[in-house]
Amino acid sequence: MTDGTLQLVDPTGTTAETYALAGSSAGPGGIVAVNPIPRFDGTVGGSDYAVSYQGSNVLAGTGGLLRWDGTSSGLTAQPVSAGSPNSVSPDWNAFREWYPGIKEGRFQVSNTAGEPITVALQASPNPGYGCWYAPSWADAPAFPPGGITVAAGQSSAIYTMGGYTAGAQGGCAATDLTGAWRGDLTITPVSHPADTRLVGLRLNRDMTVDVADQAGGSTTVSITNAHNQLAAFGLWTVTVGTPPAPTPQPSPTVTGSRVTPADWPGPAVYRFDVTGATYQLPAPSQFGNQVMVPPLLVQGSVDGRSWTSLGTLV
């Protein structure tokens, strides 16, 4: 901003005057704040800029939307509401309510479980549902509407997270006591979906992010701050784990014996005796557990060194 106007310059140039890309003439007052945003109407091209105009009264002003098409030398004023010919709002409050500012960050999902997981995001920009707003930006895509699958031991791509901050005091937020901006994750282990975990991904006003609001099965979910310099909230890693598959303790043994005599003319018949196996199951949660008890793998060996798989036993 210079002299109450917004100027776009090429950062590779040597001087702002020589490498100016676009500029705006003063509107209904000088520009005192600017917020670069994605194209408000979803069209492709250059960028939009939400700006605050201020006149002689420093406590009052209006808001407007300027657009750069990527090629022209000027910034054009855009309507500040759908179907409206007005390019400025009645006042700052009306402008915030029409296109609020945003606070955003980045997150990824790390799957430490021994099985794949699916992750879905339920979110809404509406007040009372978290005021979630996280479109694709230059360095990260929006979370896919159809959700993602994260393989065992792998991490997902990095996605955007963020929230509207409408109202004079940034009042748009979840309606619970936290007043946070939020989206809700549904995390499901592929092999036992009854252990699905519902997780509130909360962007707090002190610029921390937490997953304290959870419900569901025995899937575990935690979050850590991985980087402080990617957007306002930084980059956070959501770590997911599931209980290990139960294994028999101790390992059972199989003893085989031939039932038919050696001179039997038909195919030989064998009998296999299996010792008892005890399984240690996860501690039950208040929602119950669903665990997969894998079948036992039966192997045979002549010399005790080389083993051949014979089949499975339930």
The reported pLDDT for the residue numbered 36 is 82
Q: Which helix (H) or strand (E) holds 94?
A: helix 92-98
**Confidence band (pLDDT; 50, 70, 90) for 170?**
low
How many beta carbons lie within 10 A of that of residue 31, not counting itself? 23
> Of 11-15, 16-20, 84-88, 247-251, which gets the smallest average pLDDT?
16-20
pLDDT at 158 over 70: yes
The reported pLDDT for the residue numbered 235 is 94
Neighbouring residues of 35: CB distance < 8 A, sequence distance ≥ 6: 49, 50, 51, 101, 102
Tokens of 270: 């064998």
The span from the CA of 212 to the CA of 178, in Å, is: 11
Instruction: Please give the mean pLDDT across all residues of the chain.
Output: 83
CATH class, 102-241 region: mainly beta
Mean pLDDT of 259-268: 90
**Confidence band (pLDDT; 50, 70, 90) for 159?**
very high
Neighbouring residues of 40: CB distance < 8 A, sequence distance ≥ 6: 48, 65, 78, 99
The span from the CA of 8 to the CA of 19, in Å, is: 9
Domain boundaries, the chain: 7-98, 102-241, 254-313
Candidates 164, 313, 209, 303; CA nearest to 251 is 313
Q: Taking the model in full, what pTM does it have? A: 0.64
**Confidence band (pLDDT; 50, 70, 90) for 283?**
low
User: Residues 86, 91, 97, 100: is their CA dihedral positive or negative?
Assistant: positive
